[in-house]
Amino acid sequence: MNLQSPILPFPTLLWEQIAVLQSHNRFLYTGNRYLPKIALTFDDGPNPYYTPQVLAVLQRYGVKATFFCIGRQVASYPDLVKQEYADGNLVGNHSWSHPNLALLSSDEIDSQINLTSNAIQQVIGVRPTLFRPPYGVVNARVLSKANLLGLTTIIWSDEARDWTTPGTSVIVSRILSLAGDGAIILMHDGGGDRSQTVAGLPTIITTLRLRGYQFVTLQQMLKDLPKRPASTQAPIFVPTTIPSASPAASPGP
């Protein structure tokens, strides 16, 4: 399935729905922009080859991150999800099979989310509270269903675009040039060749630490959010295009 149509502009009612969710900390694209904290997030895993390498780097540098897992991957590699959680990382829901949820019915969305939450809970004993929609694509059905299921929808502020495999130096340069206070950084540990991400991760971590940033999970980012009415929220970040998806891999967010 080709998913390259732009998703902007959103209808006014959808923006209003997002604003309401934001005001209750149920939709997040960035943390507190006045605190030097950054959240590293990894999508599309677990992957039997790359996830252990990402975990090893995080362990080596004492960094906690958030992994948004695909349900069928959780079912295939439960021990890797156990390791993510045992290492102190947060495990979130990234749907069962990485479809564009905006194209699905409400029942299909429910199935994609619930099957994944059930799989994660079965493995680590804790039901996820965070949800990242595939490709960052949402509509009223997706947002409503996630909210009804008790999930906070997480997008991102900065991305490495590592799914395009642009080279390690490009991935590092993109992240270091974009990251700032409250950044939620999107990378991948599954869905394709993630060797460049693994190779660049030590430089990303050490450089951002030298700049004074602390790495936290999204759970901590939510705790740090200021309490503000919806009318004063910053403009919403939304990806402007959706990368292509192939049956063999989920290369995009």
| CATH number of 137's domain | 3.20.20.370
CA distances from 248 to 2, 50, 57, 98, 234 (A): 13, 16, 27, 11, 37
pLDDT band at 244 (very low <50, low <70, confident <90, very high): very low
Query: Among 7-11, 28-32, 77-81, 146-150, whose mean pLDDT is lowest?
Result: 7-11
Q: Is 60 exposed, middle or buried (0-12, 13-18, 19+ CB in 10 A)?
A: exposed
Query: What is the reported pLDDT for 85?
Result: 98
Please report, rounded to a whole number, the percentage of residues in the chain having pLDDT higher than 90.
75
Dihedrals phi, psi of 51, to nearest 5 degrees: -60, -45
CB 8 within 8 A of CB 240: yes
Domain assignment of residue 58, yes or no: yes
Residue 169 has pLDDT above 80, yes or no: yes
CA 210/CA 36 separation, integer angstroms: 12
How far is Cα of residue 68 from the mean position of the Cα atoms in its chain? 5
Query: What is the reported pLDDT for 236?
Result: 39
Q: Which of 162, 188, 189, 193 is catalytic?
A: 188
Assign residue 182 a region (left: φ > 0; alpha: ψ between -120 and 50; beta: otherwise): left
Average pLDDT, the chain: 87
pTM, entire model: 0.86
Of 20-24, 70-74, 103-107, the range with the highest mean pLDDT is: 70-74
Domain assignment of residue 237, yes or no: no
Domain assignment of residue 249, yes or no: no
Residue 239 has pLDDT above 50, yes or no: no
Dihedrals phi, psi of 110, to nearest 5 degrees: -55, -45
Residue with tokens 């950084």: 185
Domain assignment of residue 243, yes or no: no
Residue 83 has pLDDT above 80, yes or no: yes
Neighbouring CB atoms inside 10 A of 11's CB total 10
DSSP H helical segments within 100-194, as ranges? 106-124, 140-148, 168-178
CB 101 within 8 A of CB 95: yes
- Report DSSP state, residue 246: B
Residue 235 has pLDDT above 50, yes or no: no
Q: Cβ neighbours of residue 37 under 8 Å, at least 6 residues apart?
A: 31, 181, 182, 213, 214, 215, 216, 220, 221, 224
Between 235 and 184, the higher pLDDT residue: 184
Domain assignment of residue 248, yes or no: no
Residue 1 has pLDDT above 60, yes or no: no
Residue 252 has pLDDT above 60, yes or no: yes
Domain assignment of residue 239, yes or no: no
Domain assignment of residue 162, yes or no: yes
Task: Provide the number of structural domains found in the chain.
Answer: 1
- 43 catalytic? Reply is yes
Residue with tokens 């050490």: 206
Average pLDDT for residues 153-159, to the nearest whole number?
A: 94
**Residue ranges making up the domain that contains 121:** 12-232
Query: What is the reported pLDDT for 135?
Result: 94
Domain assignment of residue 7, yes or no: no
pLDDT band at 21 (very low <50, low <70, confident <90, very high): confident
- 188 catalytic? Reply is yes
Q: Which of 43, 44, 162, 189 is catalytic?
A: 43
Residue 4 has pLDDT above 90, yes or no: no
DSSP state string for 3-49? --S---SPPHHHHHHHHHHHHTT-EES---TTS-EEEEEEEEE--TT
Which is nearest to 126 in space by CA: 155, 153, 157, 89? 89
Residue 194 has pLDDT above 50, yes or no: yes
CB 249 within 8 A of CB 70: no
Residue 245 has pLDDT above 90, yes or no: no
Average pLDDT for residues 117-141, to the nearest whole number?
A: 96
